[in-house]
Structure 1
Amino acid sequence: MKTAVGSVKSTSWSLIFTDFKEITKAKLAISVVFSSLAGYFLGAYQIEWISLLLLAFGGYCMVGASNAYNQVIEKDLDALMNRTKNRPIPSGRMSVNTAMVVAIALTILGVVALYLLSPKTAMFGAISIFLYTSVYTPLKTKTPLSVFVGAFPGAIPFMLGWVAATDDFGIEPGTLFMIQFFWQFPHFWALGWMLDEDYKRGGFKMLPTGKKDAGTALQIILYTIWMIVISIMPAFGFTGRLHLSIPAAVIVLLSGLVMLFFAFKLYEKRDNVSARRLMLASVTYISLIQVVYVIDKFVN
């Protein structure tokens, strides 16, 4: 009997943990924390492990809170889409009240953790939550410009790490912000292309032209080019303390050209397979260049 009870408790905690990961979108949150830590390493004169832990914890809380608020707001729309109908709220595994408690608790914990790093860091984190939940989320069903608005909070993490390390905002974190800002357009439009039919069930308008057409594919190409240009700018001495060596710049450039190749393939074929390949290439690109930037700083 004790074994059976213990098994039930273990299963119950496992389900709670699984729902917590889903309501906070754990994989996305971890990728955001990765970006923040990369920005911290780039900005720091010396590494302080307590600061790293506060940044990782606070960053996860802020992203998790944004996602929890988002799922509360979109609960009825999530129930209409195949990819979201099994989320904790629309499936009935978690109540709206519980989700709100999680979101508020994560907001408080995140702001406090980031404030301990610096008030500027906490301010940018709070701005990110506000823009994501109060501006981006409501606009998703009204206009494709929601992706443009959503790119602002989405671009904050890479920059946030630098601000956390230096308590300063200048050309360096501004450049990191712009890299991730322009990266988001090909990434999210490729995702929107793949999931267009499902998004339309929920009434979301994610593609810039509203269609999987040449216009959308062309805009993906243009934003990818801008992303590449900004990503290699630190090699030319225009970005303060943020530097790239020539070998590192070549790696970043080649990585960007690979992504651009997949963008052209999408323009050529205009199918979901090409969109998926571009989306995967974009995820690889942003992670790879962040690693390259950090390694380059410490070896040069």
Structure 2
Amino acid sequence: MNSLSASVAKPSLFSSFVAITKARLAISVVFSTVAGFLLGVEEWNAGCWVTILLLATGGYCMVGASNVFNQVIEKDLDALMDRTKSRPLPSGMISKQTALILGFVLTLVGLVILYIINPKTAMFGAISIFMYVSLYTPLKTVTPLSVFVGAFPGAIPFMLGWVAATGHFGIEAGTLFIIQFFWQFPHFWAIGWFLYEDYEKAGFYMLPTGKRDKKTALQTILYTFWTIAASLIPVFGFTGRLHLSVVAAVIVALLGFWMLFYAVKLYKEMDAKAARKLMIVSVSYISLLQIIYVIDKFIH
């Protein structure tokens, strides 16, 4: 009976892989990348399906590798926090050596796959993993500016899809980058707010002032404004092949004001419940925005 319960309790190889690569996060990043590809592709053909498959696989490998290296570096800190202490490394499910090997394998496989698409896609993938692991991760315990640094690799996926489709970085890819760059501030500050006590245990600085105060809440509102503004740039016709119709722009603006409503609500209520709600709305915002952009392109 004891051996049976032990075997049941032992996690499978697949579930350990899902946990250490943070599959849900990785899939959401792949979603952004595919959306960027759909926006960038000029003429749809059978080869596009192959590229999407390569992009999704290579993208998952790169994000998964970033998450693996992040957890290797933060193993001891993860053990201090309630939400992370059951992760594969601090819980002993996976050894540090095994995780490192997995991280390097995923990096190599991801870079090769992205290079097959085109060299620029692989280059931006490499920049993303380098900034996330070597800059953002160690800075989290040093300065609140870690969120600013982390916003750079975090903004690459949406733009990466366009580069995969076109082979070059221009005003269109830059606009997609800027949208996701600004969006990350209200998103991550909302997370930093409602997980403040947990982050404090590990000494992570995730809020701009280091505290849950009015200044942090005000900056969250300001960056939500910037996110809305950046999201509407393509409607003015200054962004090359990246277009947005007036109807789509109105819908995106309404989504933006929905997110802004909860940013203002956080400023008024100053509690974890409001911050959690803003985080959920922010995730809905970026996902719906990407869907609207893609639908708008294919119906116009």
Give me the TM-score of the superposition, normalised by structure 2. 0.96
Correspondent of 2:20 among 18, 23, 30: 23
Please give the per-residue CA displacement for 1:20-43, whole angstroms capped at 9, x wherever unaligned.
111100000000000000000000
Q: Distance in 2 between matches of 1:244 and 1:176?
A: 12
Please give the per-residue CA displacement for 1:71-110, whole angstroms capped at 9, x wherever unaligned.
0000000000000000000001110000011100100110
Q: Name 1:248's counterpart in structure 2.
A: 248
Please tell me the residue identity of whatever aligns with 1:115.
Y
- State whether structure 2 residue 170 is matched by structure 1 residue 161: no
Q: Name 2:212's counterpart in structure 1.
A: 212
Q: Distance in 2 between matches of 1:229 and 1:45?
A: 26
1:289-300 to 2 correspondence within 5 Å? 289-300=289-300
Q: Distance in 2 between matches of 1:187 and 1:18?
A: 27
Q: Distance in 1 between matches of 2:248 and 2:76?
A: 46
Q: Distance in 1 between matches of 2:266 and 2:63?
A: 30
Q: Distance in 2 between matches of 1:228 and 1:238?
A: 16
Please tell me the residue identity of whatever aligns with 1:31.
S
Please give the per-residue CA displacement for 1:248-297, whole angstroms capped at 9, x wherever unaligned.
00000000000000000000000011001100000000000000000000
Please tell me the residue identity of whatever aligns with 2:145.
L
Instruction: For residue 11 of structure 1, report the CA deviation from its aligned partner.
Output: 8.0
Q: Distance in 2 between matches of 1:11 and 1:111?
A: 35
Please tell me the residue identity of whatever aligns with 1:53.
L
Instruction: For residue 45 of structure 1, report the CA deviation from its aligned partner.
Output: 1.1
Instruction: For residue 16 of structure 1, report the CA deviation from its aligned partner.
Output: 1.3
Q: Name 2:56's counterpart in structure 1.
A: 56
Instruction: For residue 46 of structure 1, report the CA deviation from its aligned partner.
Output: 2.4
Q: Name 2:196's counterpart in structure 1.
A: 196
Unaligned ranges ≥5, structure 1: none
Q: Name 1:280's counterpart in structure 2.
A: 280
Instruction: For residue 15 of structure 1, report the CA deviation from its aligned partner.
Output: 1.8
Q: Name 1:69's counterpart in structure 2.
A: 69
Q: Distance in 1 between matches of 2:13 and 2:216?
A: 40
Instruction: For residue 64 of structure 1, report the CA deviation from its aligned partner.
Output: 0.1
Q: Distance in 2 between matches of 1:170 and 1:11?
A: 51
SS in structure 1 of the partner of residue 12 of structure 2 = helix
Q: Distance in 1 between matches of 2:93 and 2:291?
A: 38
Q: Name 1:35's counterpart in structure 2.
A: 32
Please tell me the residue identity of whatever aligns with 2:20.
I
Identity %: 67
1:101-180 to 2 correspondence within 5 Å? 101-180=101-180
Please tell me the residue identity of whatever aligns with 1:224.
T
Root-mean-square deviation (CA, aligned residues, Å) is 1.4
Total equivalences in the alignment: 294
Q: Distance in 2 between matches of 1:86 and 1:80?
A: 10
Q: Distance in 2 between matches of 1:79 and 1:233?
A: 43
Q: Distance in 2 between matches of 1:219 and 1:114?
A: 36
Q: Distance in 1 between matches of 2:182 and 2:106?
A: 28
Instruction: For residue 298 of structure 1, report the CA deviation from its aligned partner.
Output: 0.2
Unaligned ranges ≥5, structure 2: none
Please tell me the residue identity of whatever aligns with 1:22.
A
